[in-house]
Structure 1
Amino acid sequence: MAIGSGLGAQLGIAPEVTYGTYVAPTKFVEFTKESVVLKKTTAQSAGIAAGRLVPLASRRVVTQREAAGSIEMEFTNKAMGLLLQSLMGTSVTPVQQAATAAYLQTHILADTAGKSLTIQKGVPLTTGVVTRKNLLGCKVISAEFSCEVGGMLVVSFEIDAKNCEETSVLAAASYPAMSVFHFGQMGVKLGAVGSETARDGIRKMSVKFERPSATDRFYANSSALKAEPITNGQIKISGSIERDYVSTDLDDLHTSDAASSLVWEFIGPEIAPTYNERVSFILPAVKFDDAPPAVEGFDVVKNGLSFTGLFDGTNANKIEYMSADITL
């Protein structure tokens, strides 16, 4: 019997073969908050019948079913591969590094057609009985990564799903030993592609990927359920940097509107000699959008800059993830 509170909750995921068809969870992730729930559209008959003052319950129908919400978590050194693949789109096989226990995943930005997940969440009753909610056809439509002074690298995934059902059995959760990436491991570099240099004074950083998708593909002959979302707009990459005003370098990039390659990475403990746990967000062309810093009082002047990630015509936007995970 589980604890009758959020302490007894669980979240399992598995890649689907067919969009919206249940696959038993094979990997369990630790999370801090989730809100992925069933959404239904109903229609109520309004037929006039002499003397009837209240609509008939039997004449209310469900015309559409779907699910949506977000999952928030700390970014860990294991078990993030499936979610990264669902966000970025490329089919990834971890590559072993020089016969060591280190495996590199390279998630290059691509279309996400065919990349859907079953997400099963276990939600405890106060009695300790854990109810199951199987979210089918889950697509990651956006994700925001952020880290600040004294904090951990955290991520929020926005999920769109085909349906929610409660018939399949609750899987038994198991978790590998994991650690988190944090501010003490964070580095930010800018410059020409391949020769970026570390920048000083940065206190907070975030990067967001947004994937415009047609999530309203409800058709006849589909039992009120939608077809797999299709990309219907260019991917938006954006972010922000909060920095003490220690240099004019980012200010100059804003003034000139020149592009710079941005590498935001976290380097953890060694897995094997020369191979460390790592996650790197590699954006080959960013341009800064905000105005130069302003003096707002006696305190140290801060430079809050937002940026847009673009394509330099050659190098791909990508996320690299080095871990001991042999599979996603």
Structure 2
Amino acid sequence: MAIGSGLGAQLGIAAESTYGTFVAPTKFIEFTKESLVLKKTTAQSAGVAAGRLVALSSRRVVTRREASGSIDLEIANKGMGLLLQALMGTTVTPTQQAATTAYMQTHLLASVAGKSLTIQKGVPLTTGTVTDKSFVGCKVTSGEFSCEVGGMLTGSFEFDGKDCDEAQTLAAASYSNMSPFHFGQMALKTGAYGTETALDGIRKVSVKFERPQDVERFYANQSALKKEPIENDQVKISGTLETDYVATILDDLHTSDGATSLVWEFTGPIIASTYAETFRITLPAIRLDEGPPTVDGFGVVKPTFNFTGLYDGTNLPKIEYMSTDVTL
């Protein structure tokens, strides 16, 4: 029997082979907050009937069902592959490094067609009984990563889902021994692609990937459920760099509207040989939109630069993830 509060909750995920078809969870993620919910649209008959003062309960119908919500979590050294794949789109098989227990995942930006998840959450009643809510057809519509002085690397994923199925068996959660990436492991580099160098004065970084999709594909013959969303706009990549004004590199880029490659990475303990736990975002071209320094008092000048991630014509944005995970 679980604890009858959020202490007894769980989240399990699995990649779907067919959009909206339940797959029993294979990975269990440690999360800080979630808001996945069923959304339904109803219609109420309002026909005139002599003497009837209140609409009939039997004449209310559900005309469409869908799901939506988000998951917030700390980005850990294991178990993040399925979420990264659903966000970035590339089908990834972890690549063993030499003959070690280290495996690299390279998530290049690609179409998210066919990339959907089953997300099963267990919600405890106060009695300790954990109820099942299995969300199927979950497509990632955005993912944002952030880390600041003294903090953990966090992620927030937004989802659009096909339906909520409450008739499944709640999987027994199991967790590997995971550690979060954090500010003490963080590095930020800018410069020409492939030869970026460390940038001083960085206090906080955030990067957001938005995957616009048509989530309104409700048709006849679908039993009030949607078909798989289709991408309907270009990927939006944006972010912020909160800094102390220790150099003019970013300021000059803002003034000239010049492009630079950005590498944001976290390097953890060595897994084996020279291979360390790694989380790395590479944006081959960013341009700064806002953030020229201003003086608002006696303290250190602290400009915040907002940027847009773009395509340099050759190299795709990517997320690299080194862990001991043999599979996603």
After TM superposition, the score normalised by the length of structure 2 is 0.99
Secondary structure, aligned partner of 2:76: coil
Query: 1:291 offset after TM fit, Å?
Result: 3.8
2:202 matches 1:182: no
| Cα displacement (A) at 1:52 | 1.1
CA distance in 2, matches of 1:26, 1:116: 14
Q: Which residue of 1 aligns with 2:126?
A: 126
Structure-to-structure mapping, 1:94-113, within 5 angstroms: 94-113=94-113
Match of 1:314 in 2: 314
Is 1:256 aligned with 2:281? no
Return the alpha-carbon distance in structure 2 between the equivalents of residues 233 and 65 of structure 1: 24
Alpha-carbon displacement from aligned partner over 1:239-287 (angstroms, at most 9, x marks no partner)? 0000000011100000001110000000000001210000000000000
Q: Map residues 38-77 of structure 1 onto 2, 5 A cutoff.
A: 38-77=38-77
Equivalent residue number for residue 153 of structure 2: 153
- Give the match's secondary structure for 2:86: helix
Give the gaps of 5 or more residues in structure 1: none
The one-letter code sitting in structure 2 at the alignment partner of 1:55 is: A
Give the aligned residue type for 1:28: F
Q: Within 2, Cα distance between the matches of 1:117 and 1:254? A: 39
Distance 1:148 1:51 in 2: 65
Q: CA deviation at 1:298?
A: 1.1
Q: Which amino acid aligns with 1:262?
A: L
Aligned partner of 2:123: which letter?
A: V
| 1:81 Cα deviation after fit | 0.1
Report the 3-state secondary structure (helix = DSSP H, G, I; strand = E; otherwise coil) of the residue aligned with 1:254: helix
* 1:78 corresponds to: 78
Q: Which residue of 2 aligns with 1:19?
A: 19
Q: Percent identity?
A: 72
- Distance, in Å, in 1 between the alignment partners of 2:295 and 2:234 is 37
Q: What residue number does 1:137 align with?
A: 137
What is the letter of the counterpart of residue 87 of structure 1?
L
How far apart, in 1, do the equivalents of 2:33 and 2:181 lie?
Answer: 18
Question: In 1, are the aligned partners of 2:291 and 2:303 still within 8 Å (CA)?
Answer: no
Residue 276 (structure 1) aligned with residue 262 (structure 2): no
Query: RMSD of the TM alignment (CA)?
Result: 0.5
Alignment of 1:201-216 (within 5 A): 201-216=201-216
TM-score by length of 1: 0.99
Aligned equivalents of 2:29 and 2:283: distance in 1? 27
Distance 1:256 1:100 in 2: 45
Equivalent-residue separation in structure 2 for 1:62 and 1:274 (angstroms): 57
Q: In the alignment, is the contact (CA less than 8 A) between 2:291 and 2:306 conserved in 1?
A: no
Paired residue for 1:29? 29
Q: Is the 8 A contact 2:5 2:128 kept in 1?
A: yes
Q: Which runs of 4+ in 1 moved over 2 A?
A: none
* Cα distance in 2 for residues equivalent to 1:17 and 1:213: 19
On the 8 A contact 2:210/2:235 being kept in 1, the answer is yes
Structure 2: distance between partners of 1:22 and 1:176: 24
Q: Tell me, which stretches of 5 or more residues in structure 2 are unaligned?
A: none
Deviation at 1:149, TM superposition (A): 0.4
